[in-house]
Every structure is written in C-alpha cells, then in structure tokens.
Amino acid sequence: MKGILPASCRLLGYVLLLLAVFVPLLMYMFGQVDDGNLLYVKLGMKLVIWISLFMIFLARMKDEEEEGAAIRRKAMVISLYLWGIYYVVMLVKSAYDGNLQEADNSVGIVYMVINVFCKEFLMQKARIEKNFRRK
C-alpha cells in the first residue's frame, strides 16, 4: 500500500490534529460551546480528527519505495490486532457496566490512531536500523 498524498500532508495532518483537540477546549473556555452547538462541535472535531489521521497515514514518506509500503502494511496488521484486543476489552467492560453504547464511541478513530502510532513507530525503527547497518 503506497502513500497517495504528498509528504507535506503528514505535517499538515499533525497540525490539524492539534487544532482539532485544542480549539474546542479554547472555545469552551471562552464560552462559545453551549448545549445548542455541542453536537456540531463534537461532529466537527471528529471529522477533522478523521481527516488528519488519514492525511498522516496516507502521506508518502520522503524515501518511499517498497520499504515504505511494507512499513504501512505492517502497521495496519499490528493495529488491527491491537484494535481487536481494545474492542473486545471495551465490549466486556461495557457489558460489565451495563452500558452497551460505551463500546461504540469513536472506535474507528481509535483504530486510526493506533494505525498512525504503529506506522510512526515502525518508521523510526526502520530509520534506526538503517543507521546501524551503515556503520
């Protein structure tokens, strides 16, 4: 799976992610969030988080060849396993608490976050291994 977005989208994705997290907090602190627009703020926040995570995950790496595609594939496999474990734990916890809606809150976003974490970790690992192989 090769990256389909330009490499600059990765940095832009991180900027959008930071804005999606901190702008609603600032809006709340300045009294801009109330019961009438809370739903729209939450929906906008989730939409921007989704877009930014996809921008980070699908952005090309600077020296992407077959190695970059392999890292992206490996990140997806690892994150699918971690997401499955997370989802099962959330289902058991929600069944124990009696709140079945708890397991369905932002599960897809959690999967994409795990995807991005795995990709970043594997990219750093590959960079370090490449540096040690040169010496």
What residue segments make up the domains of the chain, in order of their start?
1-60, 63-135
Which residue in the block uniquely carries the two structure tokens 């703020």? 41
The pLDDT of residue 123 is: 84
The pLDDT of residue 118 is: 86
Write out the two tokens for 12. Answer: 């832009």
The pLDDT of residue 15 is: 94
Residue 103 DSSP code: G
Confidence (pTM): 0.67
- Report the percent of the chain where pLDDT is more than 90: 13
pLDDT digits (tens, 9 = 90+) for 33-75: 888 888 888 888 888 888 888 888 888 777 666 777 777 778 8
Backbone angles phi, psi at 5, to 5 degrees: -105, 155
Write out the two tokens for 38. Answer: 């809370």
Residues 68/126, Cβ–Cβ less than 8 Å: no
pLDDT digits (tens, 9 = 90+) for 11-34: 999 999 999 989 999 999 999 988
Quote the mean pLDDT of the chain.
82
